[in-house]
Chains A and B, each alone.
Chain A
Amino acid sequence: MRRVAVTGLGVVSPLGCSPGEAFQNARAGRSGVRRLEGAFAHRLAAPLAATAPFSGDAHFDPPKLRMLDRVSQFALVAARQAVADAGACPGDADPSRAGVFVGTGMGGTQTSDDGYKVLYGEASDRIKPFTVLMGMHNAPAAWIGIEHDFRGPNLTYATACSSSAVAIGEAWLRVASGALDRAIAGGAEAPLSFGSLKAWEALHTLAAIDAADPSTSCKPFSGNRSGMVLGEGAAMLVLEPWDTAVARGAFIHGEVLGCGLSTDTGHITRPDVAGQVAAMHAALQSAGVDAAEVDAINAHGTGTQANDGVETAALKAVFGARAYRMPVSATKAMHGHLLGATGALECVLSLLAMQHAVALPTLHLQQPDPACDLDYVPNAAREGVALRTMLSNSFAFGGSNAVLVLRRAS
């Protein structure tokens, strides 16, 4: 197996539309969660979202923009950033050995909403010709492949909240095995259409609005947590063999050491300690890393009652007493839950956290919960923490668990 370097990063997120901006806002403990405005906001029980400060007009010509759902716009812009950051890519690689791996849980939700509105709401029989192209789940990956001429595998993963962690893991495996020499991997999600928000609301997983300050509504690991807040955006990485990255003098953001997948088979939504433990063990095994080498965790940390207690128990089962001594960050309090893009965004934030020796904070941790008693880096970042190896956890509905093992470059 070859070592795999991360040489390019790209981010469109509620914390900013570049990796550096998103990381600095996370480091400063700024929340991207806000009260949702708009025509349908009054029909939501808790009009909250983490919206990205993004307009497609700034990035695409109008004829092209008309073909792109917001999810593909996010994906393309994040991929452009990552490819530009990597430099000398993809021209120096055989395009047939360059692949695209994208996670998205929901695809083109606004396009689907618009189509239903016309067909059912307006009783029209005419639906826009681009509806299929904009709504299909593999549109973001396909557009990236077209734009960057990556002619190898072009794959889309839909495993709900672990989609982009799975995508990065799959890309890692192919580059490490020698099957590919270049990969763009990550995720994109644009879940803030009315239909999507109502569907999530009906599932009773979304946070109640904090009336005093809506930006604090997502409170992972806090005793008064009430659920997650949906966020939108994309994050992409360029992966390539370590040796070629070094040989061409590329800046290396970090290393993907491994990925572990597991499946809870007990319930479609209820998280399971054993399944999460199995994913972490599989990740460590794939990386050839001992649990004692792990310095910090980017938790799945959604802010739901069910997840945070189960994840805490799983971390204790894997790391024992060490679990109490390692920083566990739940950055979703700031950027919201980007569903199929969240694993990739948290992977980028983890790589930058190691680069800058910072443990990112878990904001709005206001009340202790006996079931959540680890060091979550409450409410403010911790600077000057030497972090060499991290796990990034993603645990999804459907029981699809994915854990990435990441390492600082130096």
Chain B
Amino acid sequence: MTATFERLSALLVKDYKLAPEALTPDAPLEGLGIDSLGLAELLFNVEDEFRVTLPPEPVPLETLADVVDFIDGLVAVQHGGAAPVSRAP
């Protein structure tokens, strides 16, 4: 479990009321009730949590591990490594 995965999981438990045991890296987003529209909203919240800026084009992500890798990629480019603290309220 990476730090990014832990932070993403914490967000999903707190804001989406998802059960922690359901949050495994290979868990499909659809199975968590997050479809392509829901993913757009999740990534909006990811922007706040990880202080990153999303690219304008849609991103095809299917599992939690995909989301974690996507976040890590954005953090590496935009912050040069570790994600800064959340700006979420």
B16 and A63 form a contact (CB under 8 A): yes
Instruction: Tell me, yes or no, whether A130 is within 8 Å of chain B by CB.
Output: yes
A129 and B47 form a contact (CB under 8 A): no
B44 and A63 form a contact (CB under 8 A): no
Instruction: Tell me, yes or no, whether A64 is within 8 Å of chain B by CB.
Output: yes
A126 and B16 form a contact (CB under 8 A): no
Q: What are the interface flags for A263-283 relative to B under an 8 Å C-beta threshold, 1 for contact and 0 otherwise? A: 000000000000000000000
Name the distance in Å between A143's Cβ and chain B's nearest Cβ: 13
Instruction: Tell me, yes or no, whether B32 is within 8 Å of chain A by CB.
Output: yes
Name the distance in Å between A388's Cβ and chain B's nearest Cβ: 49
Instruction: Tell me, yes or no, whether A325 is within 8 Å of chain B by CB.
Output: no
With A66-B16, A126-B47 known to touch, is A61 a contact of B41 (CB < 8 Å)? no
B44 and A129 form a contact (CB under 8 A): yes
B41 and A62 form a contact (CB under 8 A): no
Chain B residue nearest to A127 (CB atoms) is B44
Q: List, in ascending order, chain B residues with CB within 8 A of A61's CB.
A: 17, 33
Name the distance in Å between B25's Cβ and chain A's nearest Cβ: 19
Instruction: Tell me, yes or no, whether B40 is within 8 Å of chain A by CB.
Output: yes
Name the distance in Å between A377's Cβ and chain B's nearest Cβ: 46
A128→B18 CA distance, assembly (Å)? 20
Name the distance in Å between A166's Cβ and chain B's nearest Cβ: 31
Name the distance in Å between B59's Cβ and chain A's nearest Cβ: 13
Interface residues of A in 119-174 (CB under 8 A from B): 126, 128-130, 133
Chain A residue nearest to B34 (CB atoms) is A63
Interface residues of A in 52-95 (CB under 8 A from B): 61-64, 66-67
Q: What are the interface flags for B64-83 relative to A under an 8 Å C-beta threshold, 1 for contact and 0 otherwise? A: 00000000000000000000
For chain A, which range describes its interface: under 10, 10 to 19, 20 to 34, or 35 or more residues? 10 to 19
Instruction: Tell me, yes or no, whether B38 is within 8 Å of chain A by CB.
Output: yes
Main secondary structure on chain B at its contact with chain A?
Answer: helix
Contact of B16 among A62, A128, A130, A133 (CB under 8 A): A62
Name the distance in Å between B19's Cβ and chain A's nearest Cβ: 11
Chain A residue nearest to B33 (CB atoms) is A63
Name the distance in Å between A102's Cβ and chain B's nearest Cβ: 22
A129→B37 CA distance, assembly (Å)? 9
A10→B34 CA distance, assembly (Å)? 29
B41 and A66 form a contact (CB under 8 A): yes
Name the distance in Å between B33's Cβ and chain A's nearest Cβ: 4
Q: List, in ascending order, chain B residues with CB within 8 A of A67's CB.
A: 37-38
Contact of A129 among B15, B17, B34, B41 (CB under 8 A): B41
Q: List, in ascending order, chain B residues with CB within 8 A of A130's CB.
A: 37, 41
A61→B22 CA distance, assembly (Å)? 15
With A62-B16, A66-B16 known to touch, is A128 a contact of B33 (CB < 8 Å)? no
B17 and A128 form a contact (CB under 8 A): no
A64 and B33 form a contact (CB under 8 A): yes
Interface residues of B in 17-65 (CB under 8 A from A): 17-18, 32-34, 37-38, 40-41, 44, 47
With A62-B17, A62-B18, A66-B16 known to touch, is A126 a contact of B44 (CB < 8 Å)? yes
Name the distance in Å between A70's Cβ and chain B's nearest Cβ: 18
Binding site for A on B (CB under 8 A): 15-18, 32-34, 37-38, 40-41, 44, 47
Q: A126-B44, A129-B41 are in contact. List 17 more A-B contacts (CB 8 A).
A: A61-B17, A62-B16, A62-B17, A62-B18, A62-B33, A63-B33, A63-B34, A63-B38, A64-B33, A66-B38, A66-B41, A67-B37, A126-B47, A128-B44, A129-B40, A129-B44, A130-B37
6 sample A-B contacts, Cβ–Cβ < 8 Å, listed by A number: A61-B17, A61-B33, A63-B32, A66-B41, A126-B47, A128-B41
Binding site for B on A (CB under 8 A): 61-64, 66-67, 126, 128-130, 133
